[in-house]
Structure 1
Amino acid sequence: MDANALTTKKAYLLIGAIFAVSLNMRPAVTSIGPILDVIREQLSLSNAQVSLLTSLPIICMGVFASLAPVLNRKIGLNATMILMVAIIGVMTALREFVPTYAMLVVSSIGVGIAIAIAGPLLSAMIKQNFPHRAGAVIGIYSFGLGAGATLSTGLSAYLYEKTGSYPLALSIWAVLALVGIAAWLASASDHLIVKHHPKRSVPQKAMAIRSPWKNKKAWLFLLFFGLQSAAFFSLVIWLAPIALSKGMTIIQAGTLVSMMTAVQIVLNLTIPLMMERYPGRKMWLLFILLIGLVAVALFWTGNLPLLWVGALLMGVPLGGMFPIALVLPLDETENAQETNSWTAMMQTGGYIIGGILPLVIGVLYDVTHNHQFTIGVFAILFIGMIVLAMLIGDKKE
């Protein structure tokens, strides 16, 4: 269905629903970062155990994405989306009513599976139902993801400071699920679909695609997507504990992370537009990654004013890496089937890498009790991405 087939009112309602749903897809993970130390102390956990609460949903985002087309075929797009948002809401709310580590683990897994299924379907629905406005609507979707992360990192610390209850600070984000479901019900219709073509309908010639698993460039894409995911989630989760160790209050640390993610939101939208005007994939990657290294160096100093400057600068690579990573398979593949295959491989493997690294940092901190090693891991991530940017190079003409 073309967006032109929607009335103007219906189109705006649907775009609003996409934004409302996307707001739900980060807070259950990102709200933990600013109060990670509080959770660890009150539940007597190791840093590795508390890191698992953020690593598990990210890993699930890679492992369970293949369930999206299955549920879409079985119960339809609308029912699937409402069910996944409801699962996110219920799992988030249970953190208040069953405030145990076991429930935190179960809720993290449940939220991760729901995001893994909802995310790909939402992206595919946008591309199919807004073919002439897909870029703009996906931009709104990305903005919603960033807004959810920014709100949760800033307000979770504030809510804990005001109430003294970390379960409340984590579970309050279930309210967003009610907003998402209401917005989706108000806008969606049975005409909204994500099409899946059976293999027999695909011409034989079109099925002759390059397997990404046997292609060096596809593996480079997977590694880059994995390292940028690891950088984003590691920074969102661990920057607040680092700031606390340097002398910030919990509200200041939460604000620091929110400021970083706010810059990221703006750059998510502006860097792709700037790349269209001034092409050169490798140039842009090296530029933003070097800014990231400068930010890491500022974190290393431990100086509080420089931490604020570093957070502002770090928003630049965090805002640019994700949209650039998403277009890598589009630049290198020759047909839609090939693009889908390469993207699936890149995101599946990439999110698994992205989920493992925050856990590795937790284990490392348990051993060293020194966040300078954590900052060292950030530096290694950015150096690794700079090397990969050189190997990936520019788009083939």
Structure 2
Amino acid sequence: MTTRARTPHPAWLAALAILLLATNLRTAVSSVGALLPEIREGAGLNGFEVGLLTSLPPFCFGVMGLAGPAVGRRLGLHRTALLTLLIIATGQIIRGAVPGAAWLFGGSILALGGIALANVIMPSLIREMFPDRIAGMTGAYTVVVASAQAGVSFATIPLMHAFGGNWQLGIAMWAGIALLAALPWAPLAVRDTASSRRSAGAHRLPLATIARIPKAWALALFMGSQSMVAYIIFGWYPTLLQDEGLGAQAAATQVGIVSVAATIAAMFAPTVLSRMRQPALMMWVLFAACVAGYLGLLLWPAELPTLWSVLIGTSQTYFAIALYIVNLRARTVTGVLSLSGFMQSVGYIFAGTGLLLLGTIHGNSTQWAGVLVFMLVLCGFMHALSLISVSNWRLEDEMERRGMSTPGP
């Protein structure tokens, strides 16, 4: 018989804190995307600066995420979560309230740095606070992230105009959501006892150690591949459809369909995966949806766009799966925290590099066949990595096979 883990905090408070934290993990990105033309004109950005601003998220998530495991061990997970929200709010206020391109970039880097820390510690938070509901909370968390991302994209411009403000207000006002989300984390941070922080920090697992595990690289590149796919779709899909003959409104509708399909699939994927004896079967289904969607866009882009959007959106479930399975690939909270940091840092740097190279090669071309062929190849690469990632292995077991010391319980 199994016993449910007892936690020192009410379940409702823990769930509220997790979900409010999740609402802030893409607001700083989506608000800039919604107001990019206004920001470019208002801040006087040139083409290179616009490209740099839009490529900041994956690079910041990757580089600054390297600090996540160390900060989480030193401060404790709950205090780190509270700190991330305060950093996110501060960055958003700075880039919106202080004039000048330098402050725009500085505030963006600060806000994205806070998000990077939150990205890394979230799997460990879920494992610690909901050890018997990891799949359900991961599904809920990813749905909230996707819903908040879509909501901010749709609401930023209307809210900005409703308050009679400019683009600076449009990107600064979302700091209020971060400050609101900090409220439930305050009592949890107080209960982040010194003994628990010492326990978490007693078993340091350097990222260089994880880098010696080939399957950890497979998990990291799986995370990076799905991230690259997602950024390409949400960044270029409207332009692709318009170049293929769809109107602006029709193209925007298709992006919405991708988001809805991705959200619905992410809602159920972790729970379904947790109950499957052969999780590789789900990977094959998602691979089929991925290939069918991009092949359809390549051959018949304007004939059945809604079908291609649903298939592509369904294949975005890889994101929820990556966040869920990192909890299954280590036996300890320390292992999950360190593996999450490695996975997201390597993954986002890989994604950002690929996006920068692809954007440079594609340029302003209106021909998308090369990009779609690249997406099909990327789907195959991602599928192979997903099969390794969902196979039954543990970080500690892989370390023991190589004669490496493992973290304590």
CA distance in 2, matches of 1:387, 1:274: 20
Residue 190 of structure 2 aligns to a residue whose secondary structure is: coil
Once the two structures are superposed, the pairs formed by residues 278-317 of structure 1 within 5 Å of their partners are 278-300=276-298, 303-304=301-302, 306-317=304-315
Identity %: 24
Cα distance, 1:198–1:382 mapped onto 2, change above 3 Å: closer
1:323-349 deviation line (CA, Å, top 9, x unaligned): 333455565656666555544332221
Match of 1:176 in 2: 177
Q: Distance in 1 between matches of 2:18 and 2:270?
A: 20
Once the two structures are overlaid, the 10-residue window that deviates more, 284-293 or 165-174, is 165-174
SS in structure 1 at match of 2:65? coil
Q: Are 1:147 and 1:265, in contact at CA under 8 Å, matched by a contact in 2?
A: yes
Measure the CA separation in 1 of the matches of 2:331 and 2:199. 19
Q: Residues 260, 3 of structure 1: CA spacing in aligned structure 2 closer, same or farther, 3 A cutoff?
A: farther
Which residue does 2:258 correspond to in 1? 260
- Cα displacement string for residues 167-191 of structure 1 (whole angstroms, at most 9, x for unaligned residues): 4544443332232134434x53511
Instruction: Compute the displacement of 1:114 (Å).
Output: 0.5
**Distance in 1 between the 2:45 and 2:118 partners?**
31
1:26 CA displacement: 0.7
Whole-angstrom CA distance in 1 between matches of 2:300 and 2:274:
37
Structure 1 Cα separation of the partners of residues 373 and 98 of structure 2: 36
Q: Deviations 1:93-149 (Å, cap 9, x if unpaired)?
A: 444445654444323311221012223334323322333344433333222212221
Deviates more, 1:304-313 or 1:95-104: 95-104
Rounded Cα–Cα distance in structure 2 between residues aligned with 1:366 and 1:63: 26
Residue identity in the other structure for 1:150? A
3-state SS, counterpart of residue 131 of structure 2? coil
Residue from 330, 350, 354 that aligns with 2:351: 354
Of 362-371 and 59-68, more deviation after overlay is shown by: 362-371
Q: Distance in 2 between matches of 1:240 and 1:363?
A: 18
2: distance between equivalents of 1:106 and 1:380? 36
Corresponding residue pairs, total? 387
TM-score, with normalisation over the residues of structure 2? Answer: 0.77
Shift of 1:307: 3.1
The equivalent residue for 1:124 is 124
Cα distance, 1:123–1:333 mapped onto 2, change above 3 Å: closer
Correspondence for 1:191: 191
Q: Is the 8 A contact 1:87 1:110 kept in 2?
A: yes
Deviates more, 1:329-338 or 1:140-149: 329-338
Point out the more displaced range, 65-74 or 107-116: 65-74
| 1:296 alignment partner AA | Y
Q: Return closer, same or farther for 1:226/1:149 CA change in 2, 3 Å cut-off.
A: same
Residue 54 of structure 1 aligns with an amino acid whose one-letter code is: T
Contact 1:2 1:131 in 2 (8 A): yes
1:243 Cα offset (Å): 3.8
Query: Which stretches in structure 1 are left out of the alignment for 5+ residues?
Result: none
Measured in 1, the distance between the counterparts of 2:13 and 2:116 equals: 24
- 1:170 & 1:222 partners in 2: Cα distance? 31
Letter in 2 for 1:197: S
Q: Is the 8 A contact 2:26 2:149 kept in 1?
A: yes
Q: Deviations over 1:183-215 (max 9, x none)?
A: 434x5351146645377x66xxx99xx954333
* From 212, 218, 221, the counterpart of 2:219: 221
Structure 2 vs 1, CA of residues 74 and 342 (structure 1 numbering), >3 Å: closer, same or farther? closer
**In the alignment, is the contact (CA less than 8 A) between 2:94 and 2:103 conserved in 1?**
yes
Give the equivalent residue in structure 1 for 2:383: 386
Distance 1:238 1:146 in 2: 18
Counterpart of 1:235? 233
What is the deviation of 1:20? 1.4
Q: Deviations over 1:12-59 (max 9, x none)?
A: 233222211210111211344455566557767666543432322222
For residues 279 and 158 of structure 1, the distance between their equivalents in structure 2, rounded to whole angstroms, comes to 47
Q: Distance in 1 between matches of 2:392 and 2:182?
A: 40
CA contact 1:211–1:341 (8 Å) conserved in 2: no
Residue 214 of structure 1: SS of its match in structure 2?
A: coil
Aligned equivalents of 2:159, 2:368: Cα separation in 1? 25
- Please tell me whether the aligned partners of residues 364 and 373 of structure 1 are also in contact (alpha carbons under 8 angstroms): no
Report the more deviating stretch, 117-126 or 37-46. 37-46
Q: 1:198 to 1:19 in 2, by over 3 A?
A: closer
Contact 2:227–2:351 (CA under 8 A) maintained in structure 1: yes
Aligned ranges 1:19-58 → 2 under 5 Å: 19-33=19-33, 36=36, 49-58=49-58
Matches within 5 A, 1:367-382: 368=365, 370-382=367-379
Q: Which moved more, 1:362-371 or 1:162-171?
A: 162-171
